[in-house]
């Protein structure tokens, strides 16, 4: 038997070890990919949560603005500025 040559009996053992190493490396790559996806999903959830809070605050501000614009005092002030007056009871016609 010469040095440096692999005998026929050792070939299956080497192939088994190579297969095990390949499976281990593949498993590690899949695990790393899963962890990256997990972290990325966490960042996306955080970003969407911040956007949700921003939109809720905007909705609250818009509701306040709507209430201010619909206030009867404001509408009366604008109407008086345009010359609109409240009708007298003699000017109101009730339609049956």
pLDDT tens-place string over residues 24-78: 999 999 999 999 999 999 999 999 999 999 999 999 999 999 999 999 999 999 9
Q: What is the rounded distance in angstroms from the CA atom of residue 70 to the CA atom of residue 74? A: 7
pLDDT tens-place string over residues 78-92: 999 999 988 888 889
pLDDT band at 11 (very low <50, low <70, confident <90, very high): confident
Tally the C-alpha atoms within 13 A of residue 91's C-alpha that lie toward its C-beta: 4
- Rg of the chain on CA atoms, in Å: 39
């Amino acid at each position: 038997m010469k040095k440096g040559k692999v005998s026929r009996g050792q070939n299956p053992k080497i192939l088994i070890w190579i297969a095990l190493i390949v499976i281990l490396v593949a498993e590690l790559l899949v695990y790393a990919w899963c962890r990256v996806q997990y972290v990325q999903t966490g960042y996306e959830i955080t970003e969407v949560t911040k956007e949700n809070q921003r939109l809720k605050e905007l909705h609250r501000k818009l509701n306040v603005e709507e209430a201010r614009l619909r206030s009867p005092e404001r509408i009366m002030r604008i109407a008086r500025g345009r010359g609109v007056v409240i009708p007298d009871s003699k000017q109101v016609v009730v339609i049956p």
